[in-house]
Chains A and B, each alone.
Chain A
């Protein structure tokens, strides 16, 4: 247990569906992240939030819409996805100014399959 939970753990959706991924961190951190990990590809950073403000959007298509209502919760809203969006979606959190730096705590991920 890393203190970061994600739901659901598995999701199958059609290309016309709308669904949301949820992430919650119980560590008191002030930064949260979404990453995408496709088969046989490196982790790709998607979004970064710091104190509920989006600080980085890594050229992610608009069919992925993040929401961060507070520093403990992060959502990823999905709509009209493509089969190539099937991947493991990972949420992470960190504390700015924490020591050591670069220490992010990852959740277990949501395995998404788009049919």
Chain B
């Protein structure tokens, strides 16, 4: 599985756009990029998944450059409730065993 690197923590203020970048230099051709969100004392929650270019849903956008060696999760206009740990995962479709790294702890201030 491709190794991923994310910042350990980030700070933001309410209403700002937050971009969290994940590096995955050894991504394989058939790997997908998936992001999860975890609030304290809760299980992780799937946010978004993509293979290339841009994916957008009601929660976030995922930007993937052409070389796919990195990806950026974009959270528009964050609120206090977006304070959580965000995990980037990379792997082939159909693989059941998810490998979570340390994630990025996002703290949103009022």
Binding site for B on A (CB under 8 A): 2, 4, 31, 33, 42-43, 45, 48, 50, 55-56, 58, 88, 90-92, 94, 96-97, 100-109, 111
Contacts and interface: CB of A to CB of B under 8 A. Distances in A.
Given A42-B100, A42-B102, A102-B89, A2 B45 contact: yes
Nearest to A41: B102
Contact of A106 (B43, B89, B103): B43
Tell me what chain B mostly uses at the interface: helix, strand, loop, or mixed.
Answer: loop
Given A45-B98, A96-B94, A109-B42, 5 more contacts: A42-B100, A43-B100, A100-B46, A101-B49, A109-B41
Interface residues of B, number: 22
Contact of B42 (A42, A56, A94, A108): A108
A109 B100 contact: no
30 contacts: A2-B45, A4-B43, A33-B96, A42-B100, A43-B98, A45-B98, A45-B99, A50-B96, A88-B41, A90-B43, A91-B43, A92-B43, A96-B96, A100-B34, A102-B32, A102-B34, A102-B49, A102-B93, A102-B95, A102-B98, A103-B34, A103-B46, A104-B98, A106-B45, A107-B43, A108-B41, A108-B43, A109-B42, A109-B43, A111-B41
